[in-house]
Chains A and B, each alone.
Chain A
Amino acid sequence: MDLYVFDGTLEGLLTAVFHSYQKKAAQVKLVSREHFHPDVFQESFTVISEDEKAKRVWAGLAKKLDREWMLRIYKAFLSEQPDIFQDLLDFARYIIDHAEGASENYGNKHVLAISQMSQKVHREKHRMEAFIRFQQTADQIYYAHIDPDFNVLPLLTDHFKNRYADQKWLIYDLKRKYGLFYDLEKVEEIEFDFAAEFSANLNALPQQVLDPKEELYSLLWKDYFRSTNIPARKNMKLHIRHVPKRYWKYLSEKQG
């Protein structure tokens, strides 16, 4: 078995797939540099990301997979889970080695692994679409910070851009230290270190930076949340299944 070490990018992963064919490797073990522990008994090959090679592999996959599956590859990659890199490489090789349609083989473990991980990432993306609570700032930007399990920010752009086309908004990932900013024209990735200025509590911008109306609407929302509940039907087990406790920090209606 050959050991490949790559830089952790999608480009690097695809380049690794390319090399595995060029070197006619029977089996490849793929780890990212971050998770690589050098071993004196095993030689390793360092993959240098190459745009050209990555594109060829991507285009090759796109010939056999529909758009939905290509998006699944991307979503599974955004999970940032160390094991998924191996699964992605194996999946890519499985697809390339077989005739079109192989992606329907849910009995195959690579197909199932990518399908299931992309589903997890998709669910996290969907939760962010649901649970983000913007606060309106005095300079008329709708602001929210998030702390998602997976790196889902790139998947959120279209959703928020289509929906909030007439307001400026900023969504910032506290864990990965970058955000999306929409300026009424386009969405841009921005980087700055927030942690120093703001508390890590979500929905907790300091009062002085907020629009004067913000307090009223967050209050009305809390009121609404309480009024729309039917106490005779109380069912906390179901409640928690829908909104696992680790997401409560997002929900202004669940605070205080």
Chain B
Amino acid sequence: MFERIREKLEILADAAKYDVSCSSSGSNRKNENKGLGDAEGTGICHTYTEDGRCVSLLKILLTNHCVYDCAFCVSRRSNDIKRAAFTVDEVVELTMNFYRRNYIEGLFLSSGIFKNADYTMERLVRIVKKLRNEERFNGYIHLKSIPGASEELLKEAGMYADRMSINLEMPTELGLKLLAPEKSHEDVKKPLNYIQQSIVQFSDEKGLIKSTPRFVPAGQSTQMVIGATPESDKEIMHTANAFYKNFSLKRVYYSGYIPISHDTRLPVIGSQPPLIRENRLYQTDWLMRFYGFDVQEILNDANPNLDIDIDPKLSWALRNLDQFPVDVNTADYRMILRVPGIGVASALKIVQARKFGRLHQDQLKKIGISFKKARHFIRYADSPIQLREYEAGHIKGVILSEGNSKYLKTAQNQLSLF
């Protein structure tokens, strides 16, 4: 008895782990029925795996049986691996018991496609429905939309899930066709669009009728595998940008391809996953979402790929030295945010603090900016007189030599952003 459930969990957690989303924030589901769980507010990472990734949700597949044969996927039809499937009750009990012990924030449920899309989606819906209605579970639920599932089932799922997602898999249609000829980006856009329209519709109704139920309160997300196909960073981020805009996505995830197949179309097993590149893409994503950058400023025809040795914000600054130095005592918040070494929290503190007097070097350091990096790009009350202007290559050299080799490491290390 013990052994069978342990084996299932091992197989179905292992198969689900390449989906990188583990966010559990952004919902507004309160524990109002004196049940179990509360998904309001910020998410919590309950532990971290040895690869440094957050574990917030119980992330499993309902089954790894799949009718598709996508070359990049470990659960592809032609792969000779152990297969398993959970029952509805098993998923419900695992979720409840893990949650009760404060192991997790909730459930991330995905699935291989068995029989057909509706058959699979219907089972996913049955699980979330049971959790919400019978177990009075108010924890976070992230549910996959199955491509090709009917609108009725998608809508029902949205009544119980906090977030829904569906993966683009490859950044371009061309890449996807190469590795998964049975799939297309259109199959992804359809459910994304349907759910998005329903979210808008529900929130409009909420404005009129207070008792309108929640519908996917934490919004939608998607994921792209990078490094499996030869897209440039520009193609990847322009796709991401379009999906953020067109479907109001909450997040786009970038998953460095981990070689899992001998297929000659793919990087060989044992080659290093592109972890630094993945990190640079996330940094770019952050610049777009929180720092007011347009994707075109960072990636364009002249610069189709991100620098590996320096982060994209520094890269942009070095290409645009005419916009610096920025005087932290007078510049717009928008411009302070663009200084390498100054983050959102520090930028806010700077514009608040300078109302009380001009800011000096020691105050800036205490506020928490990365002064070593920022000093090349800012003026402050006691900045030294600069006799000549330095050029980009020089500044980059100084910053790289002062950094604790964080930027110089080879592919061994993932640089963290979170």
Contact = CB atoms under 8 A, between A and B. Distances in A.
A231 to B, nearest CB: 8
Nearest to B350: A106
B258 interface: yes
A16 B17 CA distance: 56
A126 B36 contact: no
A162 B38 contact: yes
B90 to A, nearest CB: 11
B367 A165 contact: no
Contact of B102 (A106, A112, A126, A134): A134
Nearest to B1: A216
B101 interface: yes
B103 A221 contact: yes
Interface in B39-54: 40, 44-54
Nearest to B43: A130
Contacts of B136: 166
A220 B273 contact: no
Given A112-B367, A144-B102, A106 B349 contact: yes
B13 A228 contact: yes
A74 interface: no
Contacts of A238: 48, 51-52, 413-414, 416
A60 to B, nearest CB: 21
Nearest to A126: B44
B315 interface: no
Interface string A210-225: 0001001111110111
Given A106-B353, A233-B53, A131 B46 contact: yes
A102 B357 CA distance: 12
Contact of A129 (B13, B16, B37, B44): B44
Nearest to A220: B9
Given A219-B6, A233-B53, A243 B47 contact: yes
Q: Which among A165, A167, A227 has the greatest number of chain B C-beta atoms within 10 A?
A: A227
A97 B136 CA distance: 51
Interface string B340-367: 0000000001101111110110010011
B102 A104 contact: no
B101 A242 contact: no
Contact of B44 (A106, A130, A167, A225): A130
A138 to B, nearest CB: 15
B352 A105 contact: yes
Contacts of A216: 2, 5
Contacts of B2: 216, 219
A236 B100 contact: no
B344 to A, nearest CB: 14
Interface stretch (B27-35, B216-224, B281-289): B27-35
Contacts of B100: 134, 136, 142, 164, 167
A136 B101 contact: yes
Contacts of B202: none
Nearest to B44: A130
B47 A164 contact: no
A106 B352 contact: yes
A185 to B, nearest CB: 10
Given A219-B6, A235-B275, A239-B48, 16 more contacts: A104-B352, A105-B353, A106-B352, A106-B363, A108-B356, A112-B367, A130-B46, A131-B46, A132-B102, A162-B38, A166-B34, A213-B97, A216-B5, A223-B13, A230-B49, A235-B52
23 contacts: A104-B356, A107-B357, A107-B360, A108-B356, A133-B102, A162-B30, A163-B36, A165-B36, A166-B34, A223-B6, A225-B49, A228-B55, A229-B17, A230-B17, A230-B51, A230-B53, A230-B258, A236-B50, A238-B413, A238-B414, A239-B48, A241-B52, A242-B45
Q: Which 5 residue pairs spanning A and B have beta carbons closest together? A: A238-B52, A233-B51, A227-B13, A104-B352, A106-B353
